[in-house]
A and B are shown apart, each in its own frame.
Chain A
Amino acid sequence: MTTSSHQSAPEGARSAPLTARRPRGTKVRRQRVKAAWLFLTPMLVALTLVAGWPLFRTFFLSFTDASLTNLSAANLIGIENYLVYEDGRWFGVLADPIWWRSVWNTVYFSVVSVSLEVIFGVIVALILNAEFKGRTIVRAAVLIPWAIPTIVSAQMWAWMLNDQFGIINHMLMGIGVIDDPIAWTASATYSMWAVIMVDVWKTIPFVALLVLAALQMLPKDCYEAAEVDGIHPVRVFFKVTLPLITPALMVAVIFRLLDALRVFDVIYVLTSNSTSTMSMSVYARQQLVEFQDVGYGSAASTLLFLIIALATVAYLYVGRKQLQLGGDS
């Protein structure tokens, strides 16, 4: 842990604590380790207060009948919030078709929007990677959607997608794609696509930036070699560029997937609590706050947490090469 192979400098030349030979050596080193823990304590306390403890309490509350108005008077009721058989019928989150609908909605939303974002993000990154006049301006313009608060982008798109006065229906009717205006945010068929449209618009910049950073680190010489050999650029992209930027793409995909699986703002503002777009987060919050059923809402939250944790573990297992803990070998 303390002796790293790439820093095998001669003894004495580098007596820095980072390369100290003995694990529990000098006074300076002991002082530093003590200071390190001292410095970490405030952060760890803060994270315990806002993350660790609340997470534990959410787990706990999911096994109680707590209500929002009286959190302290909660009784343990076992797994009844999850699943219970009563009077010949099943009750609980796991028996609620609306929950399963929201799970499906969330997964559908995540898969479709992340795929679209990756495809368009790569295209935008390839364009921005080319040398052309005004590249900085284009890059700044591309970043704008990312800087706009999600709530604001949802409202902006809600206005553009307005069924009667929205410019999108107006344009689509103008070019003859549709004959009648579409109720984008209200109809069961189109509202999910409206949500995806807004999310894709907002997050392409993020994916494009990550991919662009990876593109700019690629070695120039293999491209020159490919050009000399007269290989078609599309072939070069799939055979050279894509494999080389895959690690960066993996990172972008996991960041985006984790974000998409907990989606709330866009859906809440654009389509409110409609079941045709309801995500797991919207479902859990509705139970918790609007129906005041903390126990039931916590059960849904816990399930959401487990699903995301499971997805993360599965993803990291598949692409475990990509995980480097801050360069720590």
Chain B
Amino acid sequence: MTTRQLGKIAKRVGFWALVALIMVYAVFPFYYAVITSFKPSSDLFRIELWPSTWDVSNYVQILTEASFLRAILNSIVVSISVVFIALLLGITASYALGRVRFRGRSTVLLIILGVSMFPQVAVLSGLFEVIRTLNLYNNPAALILSYTIFTLPFTVWVLTTFMKQLPMELEEAAIMDGATPWITITKVFLPLMWPAMATTGLLAFIAAWNEFLFALTFTLSDTQRTVPVAIALLSGGSAHELPWGPIMAASVVVTVPLVVLMIIFQRRIVSGLTAGAVKG
């Protein structure tokens, strides 16, 4: 065997070792959470890579707890409403920004970009006041309202880049036929925009599902909370030791849907993220 061949083999081994390292690093924490969630509480503090006994009592405990189920329901309602509102306002706005040239267009785009860079804390007290005034404190509706601050700019931005790529001939034909802009959007563009809307909708859903600061601040009672807050505030009977089993079970319950979505829509999510960042 020549040194060149040896070098080639070493390179291959090194490459695959690196791939394996990346895989383990990415997946292991989640894997460890999953196996912890299936351990009986007596085994919890035995460190092992494969549980000796499998047990679903953590899941039973979590899924029979009314406040956790309520939190899941709240999260679903909030996230879906947020996606719906963001897409509705986003698609019309992106038509205006992507297809029509008018004075002030750049300013509007700049404002949107600016809002998407807002630190959430900067609006916390002002938003708190708005929510109090609207009488929405400790109500998931407050979250639907406040989440528009980060989902809407992003949705508009990405949809605008997609809207711009659609061929002009389509719109010309619609105008020739005397279609109003509203008809053009709903009848001509909407059917073509579905992939882009699915992507942005998915990203908005994930963002809303994961949000923590507003959810922690604008809700108070167990029945109004969303899942992230419920998980962060899970605590057991004793003040010193956290109920790690149930916490991990709850974490797995709220994460599995996201991971499944992620794997199914991998391509879409990647294209949406890069369209938002690279092209923007």
Contacts and interface: CB of A to CB of B under 8 A. Distances in A.
A149 B278 contact: no
Interface in B85-144: 85, 89-90, 92-93, 95-103, 105-106, 108-113, 115, 117-130, 132
B277 interface: yes
B168 A16 contact: yes
Contacts of B85: 46
B118 A51 contact: yes
Given A16-B168, A288-B124, A327-B164, A160 B32 contact: yes
Chain B, interface residues (CB within 8 Å), range: 35 or more
A159 interface: yes
A222 to B, nearest CB: 20
A17 interface: yes
A178 interface: no
Interface in A298-329: 298, 301-302, 304-305, 308, 312, 325-328
A305 B119 contact: yes
A112 interface: no
B232 A210 contact: no
B119 to A, nearest CB: 4
Given A35-B181, A262-B121, A2 B111 contact: no
Interface in B168-203: 168, 171-172, 175, 180-182, 185
Nearest to A59: B126
A140 B266 contact: yes
A102 to B, nearest CB: 12
Interface stretch (B1-9, B61-69, B147-155): B147-155
Q: Counting chain A CB atoms within 10 Å of each CB, which of B171, B180, B213 scores highest?
A: B213
A148 interface: yes
Contacts of B182: 35
Interface string A129-163: 01010001011111111111111111111011010
Contacts of A17: 100-101, 175
B164 A151 contact: no
Contacts of B229: 151
Contact of B108 (A40, A150, A294): A40
B213 A43 contact: no
Contacts of A262: 119-121
Given A36-B100, A156-B251, A328-B109, A58 B125 contact: yes
B231 A155 contact: yes
Contact of A43 (B92, B102, B123): B92
Nearest to B175: A28
Interface in A4-62: 14-18, 28, 31-33, 35-37, 39-40, 42-44, 46-47, 49-51, 53-58, 61
Q: Counting chain A CB atoms within 10 Å of each CB, which of B29, B103, B261 scores highest?
A: B29
A124 B210 contact: no
A214 interface: yes
28 contacts: A32-B100, A36-B95, A39-B185, A40-B97, A42-B93, A43-B93, A47-B112, A50-B149, A51-B123, A51-B149, A54-B126, A145-B30, A149-B227, A151-B212, A151-B232, A152-B33, A152-B228, A209-B274, A213-B278, A251-B280, A262-B119, A264-B213, A284-B124, A285-B124, A288-B125, A301-B125, A304-B122, A325-B109
Interface of B: 15, 18-19, 22-23, 25-27, 29-30, 32-33, 36, 44-45, 47, 85, 89-90, 92-93, 95-103, 105-106, 108-113, 115, 117-130, 132, 145-146, 148-149, 152-153, 156-157, 160-161, 164, 168, 171-172, 175, 180-182, 185, 206, 209-210, 212-213, 216-217, 227-229, 231-232, 244, 247-248, 251, 254-255, 258-259, 261-263, 266, 269-270, 273-274, 277-280
Interface of A: 1-2, 14-18, 28, 31-33, 35-37, 39-40, 42-44, 46-47, 49-51, 53-58, 61, 66, 68, 71, 123-124, 127, 130, 132, 136, 138-157, 159-160, 162, 164-165, 167, 170, 201, 205-206, 209-210, 213-214, 248, 251-252, 255, 258, 261-262, 264-265, 268-269, 280-281, 284-285, 288-289, 294, 297-298, 301-302, 304-305, 308, 312, 325-328
Given A149-B209, A262-B120, 10 more contacts: A35-B100, A44-B108, A54-B130, A123-B18, A132-B15, A141-B22, A156-B251, A201-B29, A264-B120, A328-B105
